[in-house]
Structure 1
Amino acid sequence: MLRDYVAAIDGTDVLGSNDLEPVLLGLYGEVGGIMSAAKKHVREGAAFPGFRKAAEEEFGDTLWYFAALCQRLGFSLEDIFTEASRASAYKHVAAASDYSHGAMAQIILPKESVQLDSALFELGRAATALLGAAPAKEDLIRFVGHYLEALHGAELNFSTVVRANIRKTRGAFLLPEPSSLPDFDKDFEAEEQLPRRFRIKVSQRASGRTYLQWNDVFIGDPLTDNIADRDGYRFHDVFHFAHAAILHWSPVMRALIKQKRKSKRDYDEEQDSGRAIVVEEGLTAWIFSRAKELNFFENQSRISFGVLKTIGDFVAGYEVAECPPKLWERAILDGYAIFRQMRDAQGGWIVGDREARTISYEPLEEPV
């Protein structure tokens, strides 16, 4: 039920509780996204399956903004959808229900086939009508009617749209319950696990190269920035250690400390291999290029959802794809907090705690 959807996304609305303009503009923008993605999905069909996912995402984002709008205007999302379904353009079909309090459900369908182009045009007009100072209830009902017609014309499943949007918004805006987070190597022996707690010493020599030490043993190769613009990238291994501590994932760290999961061939080849290492290194370099434009995320408490979404595309097919965007955000921001201290002090200790999913910085000892 839509009331369950509203309950599920509670806490994901980070916009001002009384601000209508950001919600209305967001809604209008998502409707534009629907027009583009839905047309591509229908036109390209099975040739480009990614368009279907994109269309489902745009419909889900539009629903989210519409729910936020209803909340600010004091209307029930479920009531608006119910009233929209009573319009003469819809028919009610009985169906079995898995809802615990009843044996029957009603499915609403347009009485006639829907032309997608017409439905999208009408949805756009209905969205434009909402851009007034305070949209009327009739405008909301009309919008939902055209939203449902466009959804039907695009041949998409509403329940799939709702479930996907819940996963997306909760993953992006709510810190997950620790018990719900994956621990990718808990079933392996200690020598094949990322260490539960670790202290890594990072020191810079007069040559400008940085060195890593774990348990008093040098690991990895000495690093420089490898660029004319000295930006501190020689300290970038801190990000791999942040991944290990907070995400419980880092093929790079496994390679550095030689603790790959070789007892299971598929893990060794598919999750800890050279390709996985390249993915993490490439992702780290890409995030660094974005961070460099933003003063390395100093005084920032959030990462743009566009960046988090791209990260999801980067790691698709690897175990870390199970980690929600909000956990990635925490790993990035905490990692860059350590990076800035490390860069300014020209070294230090990286302290990771996988049980607490934390990473911290300690300065190097004063010279004797």
Structure 2
Amino acid sequence: METYSKKSMENVGGSLPLAEYEAAIEKTDMFLSDDITPVLLGLFGEVGSIMAATKKYRREEKAYTGYKESVEEEFGDALWYFTAICRRFDLRISDIFEAAFNNNDLKTISANDSENAPISQIITSEKINDLDETFIALGCATAKLLKVNKNTDQNFECLVEFARIYIQSLQAIGLSFAKVARENIKKAVGRFEKPITSTLPDFDAEFREEEQLPRNFEIEITQRDSGQSYLRWNGVFLGSPLTDNIRDPDGYRFHDVFHLAHAAILHWSPTFRALIKHKRKSDPIFDEAQDGGRAIVVEEGLTAWLYSYAKDLDYFEGHNGVSFDVLKIIKKFVNGYEVHECPLNLWEDAILQGYEVFRQVKKYNGGIIIGDRERRTLRYRKIGEQYES
């Protein structure tokens, strides 16, 4: 895994050895090694998502601007499940794809120097089938996999057939096999493996201290008799007093906690940065593109959307994880901003820590919020109590 991170993760173009892909995602497989049913169902679901996205594209055409990116992700997820199936039969996908290439009319493929994975990316073929015809064939090949049993020869043939049509489907849309695999590694590893602290992004380390988010901070949140909440840092009030701004009070007046969680754990919060006037004005590009009004709206909108979702989950009380679908939506939400570099696992950590503190603030109508960017932690202390590190 470490070899991949240092080598191929930085290689944004070119081929990718399939053996390396297998090794990189193996630790992200959380299913039981002897249970193939959920993996088969997962593959079936991803292929269904590919077909659904294609149907939508055919209906809306240019109006569906995110088609290629969406279907690229679904193909990556399908590859993940396909690899997990092969793993349960002690088969390597490099062998499966090589067998598929040797038994069809594919003409030209890229080659790797790696002896373990000589084939990685399709360049062209003599014939690319009609899109509808190819996807129907992909669905049929997936359905056959649902019937795999202990008959090894039959399993191998079904897997080879799926691999062959999978590649034809990529060609029919015009997707790079290597890019699909590489992006899937980033997604899977970012979701399931705890990140190495030294490899995590620090977006303002190269800026002057007055343009950085504070490395350590204590923010006091209080609620007045009016029901409004106030934010104070180093004795200075920040921003405007907040109410819930909704007919049925739900505690959203304390939502600044989530901006503080973003700052401490993700090292990102254009909202908090603006409140304390620590925008990176020495660099006009950062000042406008990363710290400006649009970035603030993105963070505020994301926070409000997630809050509505969290209300139905008791604000994540008793939860030790966040839905993968929610995390994927978040990544799309922040696309184009520096925080997009943060792995999904770190986003999950920020959400769970933020809501743990929020529940305390909501319970006691205020408190001291303690952020530590070095440790990437957010903690709560009652007003008047001492904090034990």
2:101 pairs, out of 48, 72, 85, with 85
The partner residue of 1:8 within 5, 14, 24 is 24
Q: For residues 168 and 95 of structure 1, do their structure 2 counterparts lie closer, same or farther at Cα, with a shift above 3 Å needed? A: closer
Q: Pick from 130, 134, 139: which aligns with 1:115? A: 130
Are 1:293 and 2:325 matched, yes or no?
A: no
1:30 and 1:62 mapped to 2: Cα distance?
Answer: 5
The yes-or-no answer on 1:75 pairing with 2:94 is no
Partner of 1:61: 77
Q: What letter corresponds to residue 315 of structure 1 in structure 2?
A: V
Question: What are the residue-to-residue correspondences of 1:1-368 with 2, within 5 Å?
Answer: 1-38=17-54, 50-87=66-103, 89-91=104-106, 93=108, 97=112, 99=114, 110-132=125-147, 134=149, 136-365=155-384
The answer to whether the 8 A contact 2:121-2:177 is kept is no
- Correspondence for 2:14: none
Which amino acid in the other structure matches residue 39 of structure 2? V
SS of equivalent residue, structure 1 residue 352: strand
Q: Are the equivalent residues in 1 in contact too, given 2:121–2:178 (CA < 8 A)? A: no
CA distance in 1 between counterparts of 2:165 and 2:123 reads 13
What displacement does 1:344 show?
1.1
Give the letter for the 1:211 counterpart: Y
Task: Give the alignment's TM-score, normalised by structure 2.
Answer: 0.86
* Paired AA for residue 127 in structure 1: T
Superposed displacement of residue 86, structure 1:
2.0
Q: Are the aligned partners of 1:90 and 1:111 in contact in 2 as well (CA < 8 Å)? A: yes
Aligned length: 365
Quick one: structure 1 residues 3 and 219, their matched pair in 2 at CA, closer, same or farther if it must change by over 3 Å? same
Compute the displacement of 1:313 (Å): 2.2
Q: Distance in 2 between matches of 1:81 and 1:138?
A: 11
Deviation at 1:38, TM superposition (A): 4.4
C-alpha deviation, 1:153, in angstroms: 2.2
Using the alignment, how far apart are the partners of 1:141 and 1:97 within structure 2? Answer: 20
One-letter identity of the residue aligned with 1:57: E
Q: For the structure 1 residues 191 and 211, does the alpha-carbon distance in structure 2 shift closer, same or farther, using more than 3 Å as the test? A: same
SS of 2:26 mapped into structure 1: coil
**Counterpart code for 2:339:** V
Unaligned 5+ segments in structure 2 are 1-16
CA deviation profile, 1:280-338 (whole Å, cap 9, x unmatched): 11111111001011111111122122222222222222221221222111111110000
Q: CA deviation at 1:25?
A: 1.1
TM value normalised by structure 1: 0.91
- Between stretches 305-314 and 288-297, larger displacement belongs to 305-314
1:57-78 CA-to-partner distances (Å, cap 9, x unmatched) read: 1211111011111112222222
Could you tell me how far apart the structure 2 residues matched to 1:203 and 1:343 are? 11
Q: Deviations over 1:46-94 (max 9, x none)?
A: 775521222221211111011111112222222222222221x234547
Which one is further off, 222-231 or 195-204? Answer: 222-231
> 2:89, 2:281 → 1: CA distance?
57
Range that drifts further, 15-24 or 26-35: 15-24
Contact 1:41–1:55 (CA under 8 A) maintained in structure 2 = no
Q: 1-side partners of 2:243 and 2:268: how far apart?
A: 24
Q: Structure 2 CA distance, aligned partners of 1:344 and 1:228?
A: 20
Segment drifting more, 142-151 vs 192-201: 142-151
Q: Secondary structure, in 3 states, of the residue corresponding to 1:90?
A: coil
Give the conservation status (yes or no) of the 8 Å contact 2:261–2:351.
yes
- CA shift, 1:187, in A, is 1.4
Read off the aligned partner of 1:66 and give its amino acid letter: F
Q: Output the aligned Cα RMSD.
A: 2.6
Aligned-partner Cα distance in 1 for 2:65–2:384? 56
Counterpart Cα distance in 1 of 2:119 and 2:102 = 18
Q: Secondary structure at the match of 1:212?
A: strand
Quote the Cα distance in structure 2 between the aligned partners of 1:5 and 1:148.
16
Stretch moving more, 324-333 or 263-272:
263-272
